[in-house]
């Protein structure tokens, strides 16, 4: 599963979820009609716990109208290796939402042979010409990220602080935002900007990736982000492949 295999990520998710009340609290959320934000967090937590029992509720969430709920339901089905969800996951591999497609493919690859997983969506826009907004307070890092993503045929926009990122996201409706975390220009973090953007109904389908040296894998996802990539020697190549996955 793209960007979701880190043990650190799972430890952070479980720690965050336990602070709210632990497994019983989150398992109950799957059994009630709650705010979608609470439901997808519950699915993320329950998937990391991977304790048996909630599979029927997870399968029902695959039909939810919120794309983050559907995506996290796919993630949980993959964690449970739930064979009963295979056909629905196959359908979601060509969902209109990039985050759902990515997680459906990742989950299905844990249940069926990898070569039997649909790899593309005929009705989605190709990566060529898609707009990516790079948010980083270092121009040097902006250049590095832009250079890594340009082979995908993307159009590039740039923002140097969180406030400008939010402003440009609302104005430009990018397909993808790549953000760092620490932003000294307006003393607002990438985590805070992600939380605000992910709650904006007009930006609900915008994919948000974080490219940072800060160990925030699970915290970023908990705030509404889609995938965390560590700034390492190979990080830019990983970022490019993850962007490609979300744009196709």
* Distance (Å) of CA 16 to CA 198, 216, 223, 224: 18, 12, 11, 14
CB 53, CB 79: distance < 8 Å: no
Dihedral (CA of 193, 198, 199, 200) sign:
positive
Cβ neighbours around 179 below 10 Å, total:
26
Tokens 């997870």, residue located: 58
* Helix axes 98-108 and 235-247, enclosed angle (nearest 10): 100
Q: How far apart are CA 41 and CA 13, in angstroms?
A: 9
Mean pLDDT of 8-13: 88
Report CA 245 to chain centroid distance, whole Å.
11
Residue-wise pLDDT for 209-220, tens only, equals 999 998 888 999
Give the model's pLDDT for residue 3: 55
* Distance (Å) of CA 212 to CA 49, 136, 138, 239: 26, 10, 12, 11
CB-facing half-sphere around the CA of 40: CA atoms within 13 A? 26
Would you kindly state where each structural domain of the chain is located, as residue ranges?
A: 7-116, 131-247
Question: How would residue 185 be classed by pLDDT, with cut points 50, 70 and 90?
Answer: low
Instruction: Describe the chain by its helix, strand, coil percentages, rounded to 5.
Output: 55, 10, 35
Q: Has residue 122 got a pLDDT over 60?
A: no
CA proximity to 163, closest of 199, 200, 197, 198: 197
Q: How far apart are CA 129 and CA 57, in angstroms?
A: 39
Q: Which two tokens stand for residue 128?
A: 């060529």
Give the model's pLDDT for residue 8: 81
Residue-wise pLDDT for 88-97, tens only, equals 999 999 999 9
Q: Which two tokens stand for residue 29?
A: 């959320």
Fold of 7-116: 1.25.10
Residue-wise pLDDT for 49-67, tens only, equals 987 788 999 999 999 999 9
Residue-wise pLDDT for 157-171, tens only, equals 999 988 899 999 999
CA proximity to 148, closest of 224, 232, 221: 232
Fold of 131-247: Rossmann fold (3.40.50)
Q: Has residue 124 got a pLDDT over 50?
A: no
The DSSP result for 54-104, as a single string, is: -HHHHHHHTT-SSHHHHHHHHHHHHHHT-GGGHHHHHHHTT-SSHHHHHHH
Q: How far apart are CA 141 and CA 77, in angstroms?
A: 36
Q: How far apart are CA 210 and CA 179, in angstroms?
A: 5
Q: Dihedral of the CA atoms 214, 215, 221, 226 (nearest 10)?
A: 60
Least confident of 1-15, 44-58, 105-119, 200-214: 1-15
């Amino acid at each position: 599963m793209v960007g979701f295999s880190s043990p650190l990520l799972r430890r952070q998710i479980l720690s965050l979820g336990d602070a709210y009340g632990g497994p019983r609290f989150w398992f109950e959320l799957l059994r009630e009609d709650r705010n979608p934000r609470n439901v997808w967090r519950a699915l993320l937590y329950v998937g990391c716990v991977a304790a048996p029992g909630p599979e029927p509720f997870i399968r029902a969430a695959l039909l939810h109208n919120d794309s983050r709920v559907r995506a996290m339901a796919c993630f949980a089905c993959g964690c449970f290796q739930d064979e009963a969800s295979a056909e629905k996951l196959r359908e979601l591999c060509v969902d209109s939402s990039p985050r759902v497609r990515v997680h459906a493919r990742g989950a299905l690859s844990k249940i069926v042979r990898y070569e039997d997983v649909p790899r593309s969506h005929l009705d989605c826009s190709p990566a060529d010409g898609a707009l990516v907004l790079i948010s980083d307070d270092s121009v040097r890092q902006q250049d590095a990220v832009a250079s890594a993503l340009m082979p995908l045929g993307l159009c590039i926009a740039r923002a140097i602080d969180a406030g400008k990122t939010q402003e440009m996201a609302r104005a430009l409706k990018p397909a993808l935002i790549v953000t760092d975390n620490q932003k000294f220009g307006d003393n607002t973090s990438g985590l805070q900007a992600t939380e605000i953007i992910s709650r904006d109904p007009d930006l609900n389908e915008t994919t948000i990736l974080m490219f940072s040296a800060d160990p925030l894998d699970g915290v970023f996802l908990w705030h509404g982000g889609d995938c965390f990539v560590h700034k390492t020697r190979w990080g830019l190549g990983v970022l490019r492949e993850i962007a490609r996955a979300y744009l196709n």
